[in-house]
Structure 1
Amino acid sequence: MKRYWLLRLVIAFGFAQAAVSMARPAVSYRALSLGADERAIGVIAGVYALLPLFAAVPLGRRTDRGRCAPLLFAGVVLIAGGCALSGTAGSLAGMAAWSGVMGLGHLCFVIGAQSLVARRSAPDEQDRDFGHFTIGASLGQLVGPVAAGLLIGGDTGRSSALALVVSAAVAAVALTALWRVEVRDAHTGPARAERDRVPVHRILRTRGVPAGIFISLAVLSATDILTAYLPVVGEHRSIPPATIGLLLGLRAAATIACRLVMTPMIRLLGRTALLTVTCLLAGLLCAGIALPVPVWALAVMLAALGFCLGAGQPLSMTTVVRAAPDGARSTALALRLTGNRLGQVAAPASAGLVAGLAGTAAPFVLLGALLLAAATLGVRVGRGPAGGPGRTGAAGTGARAGADEAGAPSGAGEPWDACGGARRRA
């Protein structure tokens, strides 16, 4: 019974992510029907990623001091509103503005949801719970584009507007799963607000936080560029679009499969080895996509790549939560999301530049190098200071009551607070 909160959160995230994944291609088609060129499409897509950057840290600060549920509800409302209003917008400026609202809503929901998982999961359950939580995102990313493709037809102006209105309704369904997903807690009231704020530079200097942010950025960049450039590779190798769609679906399904078996893999290999090995293999597989292999071999590589990429995001969340100073877990997760958004802007631009200079296979080699760097950081995170994972050893970084090597919370018997730290007894 007590695990139902996580199931409801996964369901809500699945609907919210499906709405966003459905709306983003529909926004592009809608903008094209309004006369947008490639540059305008890029600006609209950039507003989605850039606008929330300014709100990430304040939202994280607010969640560190209070409850998570208000952000979840606000996120769903903003996503639904941004989708619906994008479908009725009559100008490119309006499309860009409502795309930014949609992006802000997605950011609100993810910060609130990740903070809630950190709140309600004991240290030895965090990897598993973050893995299950991200299944919702994978399901949404799998279903959303397919649904958009089914709705958008010949008259792209009208059909894309319909797809956006439908995506708003899909987002609204997420509200039904958020009932009592968070238990009210007296410790999240004014007493928490009285804590001193941890400066952002101090969070970023805490051992493990920069590594977690970079690993997350690398894995997300690989997923985004793979989705954007595999159709280009297919065009050059005469692979039909339907086959490319199946290959991308295979990649997404393999990612879900990885997250379903996260717990036994961690028990078998350990989280540091799992993070390092999956990033290393993903880097090699990304570089292998650049080779002129037959379709069946490409399918095998993409399935293996999807499985490897499935581990990076949930493990990077746990890395950041365990490393962050007390009272700043949600802010650290917000900084991780900020890194993700910067990667979503910078990685496609860099990939486009590299592809223009060295060919369509070059971005995959670039991704391989990025993931190999992430694997190196994974090894360094595993060599953390003495005292077990999640502790900060440097003076002034705020040593925390974290998990010991066996995953048990220090201060046995103390309940676990919103950010993974032991609550003070009254």
Structure 2
Amino acid sequence: MRPGRNRGWLLRLVIAFSFAQAAVSMARPAVSYRALALGADERAIGVIAGVYALLPLFAAVPLGRRTDHGRCAPLLPAGVVLIAAGCALSGLAGSLWAMAVWSGVMGLGHLSFVIGAQSLVARQSVPHEQDRNFGHFTIGASLGQLIGPIAAGALIGGHDMAGTSALALVVAGAGAAVAVTSLWRIEDRTALTSRTRHGDRVPVRRILGARGVPAGILISLSVLSATDVLTAYLPVVGEHRGIAPSVVGLLLSLRAAATIACRLVLTPLLKLGRTPLLTSTCLLAALLCAAIALPVPVWALATLLAALGFCLGVGQPLSMTTVVRAAPEGARSTALALRLTGNRLGQVAAPAGAGLVAGVAGVAAPFVLLGGLLLLSAGVALRSPAREPADVPKDTARAAEGPAGAESRR
């Protein structure tokens, strides 16, 4: 049976991703609150948020190379272990430096899991199902982003902010460990074919020179930077505007729920065309992100976040498909890793830049900068039309099907 038709592996992957992402989404605001309780200012929050991406920044391409010529499934449990350790030990850390280090470990685990998972989806999906399967896969991330902030908001609060935020981080670590239960039956049935068909490494310069890869990287970087800074800085905005942590958690979860809604209807939305859809959603997201800087009431902020979450739901799955289709054969995992490297660059630069801007111009100013970045992405999406499934060669489609797909044709 074709892997594109038998999506039991995809359901298990989505469940595992939901637990792993919920742990990270619970830990990120908890880290911010715990750092504030330990005496951090806005700039320190930005540095700690940036370190989350700094360690993975150097590991993405080597992991992608290894995945292109080997199995990607082992990266999944390894990533879960690192996420669980990073969350729990961040809660036990007693200094801002230690929190930054364990935040980096958490980020490395998340990167390992995502590289393995994205490569698995790319290998197990036939070309015309890639948009849908990547969309379903990213629902796991959105579910985690929906549950995590609510759980963090329920646990964090009161007079002992340091203690409650530490508890939230330990609970997040335990939640991440649950993801292992959905991973044990996931197999990479295309790994053997990958090792035998592709013996030579494609140079990184050639991958980045493929039309569509840079555009996919920039769009993904912009969307993730918006989500990441929103997660890290909405608690700070809430503190300045007198919004309780529980309400901030609900607002972040509302954004995630809107993203889930977008990805559930992604297939009919694609009838508008991939390029117009990417361009319009990035443009709307830019305007909505900048509007968060306005001193609006909570109900209006909730409306803005819901609309923003829906628009941001398009960029990640379509940028994955864009990169996979544009990359040379035999280097798709490396191309996805380069996309994640761009994401991590954004996660290093965006929070750090946000911290500097917030320290000078106020805590809402970073959202105006993010609006500008999303506006740039809208222009790039318009100038770099995405390849459609019909453009994918038949031999590439057979390679994507893997051994199970080949067996079904015999």
The equivalent of 1:373 in structure 2 is 376
Which segment is superposed worse, 91-100 or 315-324? 91-100
Matched, 1:336 2:339: yes
The alignment's TM-score, normalised by the length of structure 2, stands at 0.87
Which segment is superposed worse, 16-25 or 90-99? 90-99
Q: Distance in 2 between matches of 1:34 and 1:232?
A: 14
Within 5 Å, which residues of 2 pair with 1:58-207?
58-89=62-93, 92-153=96-157, 154-185=159-190, 187-188=192-193, 190-192=195-197, 195-207=199-211
Distance 1:90 1:40, change over 3 A: same
2:288 to 282, 285, 290: 285
What letter corresponds to residue 122 of structure 2 in structure 1? A
The equivalent of 2:18 in structure 1 is 14
Distance 1:347 1:157, change over 3 A: closer
What letter corresponds to residue 171 of structure 2 in structure 1? V
Distance 1:159 1:353, change over 3 A: closer
What letter corresponds to residue 390 of structure 2 in structure 1? D
Identity of aligned residues (%): 77
Which segment is superposed worse, 214-223 or 83-92? 83-92
User: Which whole-Å deviations, capped at 9, do the CAs of 1:249-281 have from their partners, x for residues lacking one?
Assistant: 3222111100110001102x0111111111111
The structure with more helix, counted as a fraction of residues:
2
Matched, 1:304 2:307: yes
Q: Distance in 1 between matches of 2:307 and 2:242?
A: 23
1:317 to 320, 334, 341: 320
User: Which whole-Å deviations, capped at 9, do the CAs of 1:160-211 have from their partners, x for residues lacking one?
Assistant: 443333222211111111122224346346425x621111122112111111
Matched, 1:414 2:409: no
Distance 1:178 1:150, change over 3 A: same
Give the aligned CA root-mean-square deviation in angstroms: 3.2
Distance 1:188 1:101, change over 3 A: farther
Distance 1:325 1:97, change over 3 A: same
How far 1:413 sits from its partner (Å)? Answer: 7.9
User: Which whole-Å deviations, capped at 9, do the CAs of 1:284-324 have from their partners, x for residues lacking one?
Assistant: 22233344555544433332221111101111111111111
Q: Distance in 2 between matches of 1:413 and 1:302?
A: 38
Q: Distance in 2 between matches of 1:301 and 1:37?
A: 26
Higher relative contact order (CA 8 A, sep 6+): 2
Q: Which runs of 5+ in 1 are unaligned?
A: 391-402
How far 1:416 sits from its partner (Å)? Answer: 2.1
Distance 1:307 1:82, change over 3 A: same
Which segment is superposed worse, 149-158 or 214-223? 149-158
How far 1:349 sits from its partner (Å)? Answer: 2.8
The equivalent of 2:225 in structure 1 is 221
The equivalent of 1:252 in structure 2 is 256
How far 1:237 sits from its partner (Å)? Answer: 6.0
The equivalent of 1:404 in structure 2 is 390
Q: Distance in 1 between matches of 2:250 and 2:166?
A: 26
Instruction: Indicate if the aligned counterparts of 1:203 and 1:332 stay in contact, CA closer than 8 A.
Output: yes
What letter corresponds to residue 328 of structure 2 in structure 1? P
How far 1:4 sits from its partner (Å)? Answer: 1.2
Instruction: Indicate if the aligned counterparts of 1:211 and 1:378 stay in contact, CA closer than 8 A.
Output: yes
Q: Which runs of 5+ in 2 are unaligned?
A: none
Distance 1:359 1:64, change over 3 A: same
Q: Distance in 2 between matches of 1:119 and 1:89?
A: 39
The equivalent of 1:271 in structure 2 is 274
The equivalent of 1:261 in structure 2 is 265
What letter corresponds to residue 260 of structure 1 in structure 2? L
User: Which whole-Å deviations, capped at 9, do the CAs of 1:328-384 have from their partners, x for residues lacking one?
Assistant: 1111111111111111121223334444555555433322221121111111221x6
Which is greater in Rg?
A: 1
Instruction: Indicate if the aligned counterparts of 2:153 and 2:249 stay in contact, CA closer than 8 A.
Output: no
How far 1:240 sits from its partner (Å)? Answer: 6.0
Q: Distance in 2 between matches of 1:161 and 1:357?
A: 29
Distance 1:411 1:43, change over 3 A: closer
